Amino acid sequence: MMRLGKGIRGLVLSFLLVALLACAGEAKTALVFQTDFGLKDGAVSAMKGVAFGVDQDLPMFDLTHEIPAFSIWDGAYRLYQTLEFWPKGTVFVSVVDPGVGTERKPVVVRTKSGHYVVTPDNGTVTLIMDSIGIDQVRTIDETKHRLKGSERSYTFHGRDLFAYTGAKLASGKISFEEVGPLLKGQPVRIPYQRAEIKDGAALGTIPVLDVQYGNVWTNIGADLFDSFKPSKGKLYEVRILKEGKEVYRGTVPFADTFGDVPEGKPLLYYNSLMNLSLALNMDSFADKHKVSSGPEWSVVVRPVK
Q: What is the pLDDT of residues 96-144, one digit of tens each?
A: 999 998 889 999 999 999 999 999 999 999 999 999 999 999 999 999 9
Does residue 75 belong to any structural domain of this protein?
Answer: yes
The arithmetic mean of pLDDT across residues 152-160, rounded, is 91
Q: What is the pLDDT of residues 45-81, one digit of tens each?
A: 999 999 999 999 999 999 999 999 999 999 999 999 9
pTM: 0.83
Give the range of the structural domain holding residue 54, as residue numbers without chain letter. Answer: 28-178
The arithmetic mean of pLDDT across residues 186-196, rounded, is 96
Residue 209 and residue 173 share a domain: no
Identify the CATH number of the domain in which residue 87 sits.
Answer: 3.40.50.10790
Does residue 184 belong to any structural domain of this protein?
Answer: no
Domain boundary among 178, 205, 234: 178
Identify the CATH number of the domain in which residue 230 sits.
Answer: 2.40.30.90
Three-state DSSP class for residue 58 = coil
Q: What is the pLDDT of residues 11-31, one digit of tens each?
A: 444 444 434 434 444 578 999
Angstrom distances, CA of residue 57 to CA of 25, 49, 109, 235: 15, 12, 24, 55
Residue 270 and residue 174 share a domain: no
Contact 101, 158 (CB under 8 A): no
Contact 195, 221 (CB under 8 A): yes
Q: What is the pLDDT of residues 233-278, one digit of tens each?
A: 999 999 999 999 999 999 999 999 999 999 999 999 999 999 999 9
Domain boundary among 149, 178, 207: 178
Does residue 71 belong to any structural domain of this protein?
Answer: yes
